[in-house]
């Protein structure tokens, strides 16, 4: 019985961790890593002017995540 109670307590801790992670607001630096990487690579290789479409796609992704950019 003790092991069952301990296992149940561990489950509760996991649920609490998940809830905390979900309630934390995302940081803009961590949002949309896929579009960010592609955008950054383009800017490094070609310059900002040549990458406006990728910059805009990244901004769209950030807006979809709730950021006001």
- Quote the pLDDT of residue 24: 75
Q: Quote the DSSP letter at residue 18.
A: H
Mean pLDDT, range 12-38, rounded to an integer = 75
- Quote the pLDDT of residue 36: 98
The C-alpha atoms of residue 35 and residue 39 are separated, in whole angstroms, by 6
- Quote the pLDDT of residue 60: 98
The C-alpha atoms of residue 31 and residue 67 are separated, in whole angstroms, by 9
- Quote the pLDDT of residue 26: 83
pLDDT at 11 over 80: no
pLDDT at 17 over 70: no
3-state secondary structure of 63: helix
pTM: 0.65
Q: Quote the DSSP letter at residue 66.
A: T
């Amino acid at each position: 019985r003790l092991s069952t109670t301990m296992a149940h307590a561990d489950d509760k801790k996991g649920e609490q961790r998940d809830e905390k992670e979900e309630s934390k607001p995302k940081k803009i630096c961590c949002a949309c890593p896929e579009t960010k990487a592609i955008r950054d690579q383009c800017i490094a290789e070609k310059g900002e002017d040549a990458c406006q479409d990728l910059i805009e796609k990244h901004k769209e992704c950030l807006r979809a995540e709730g950021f006001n950019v």
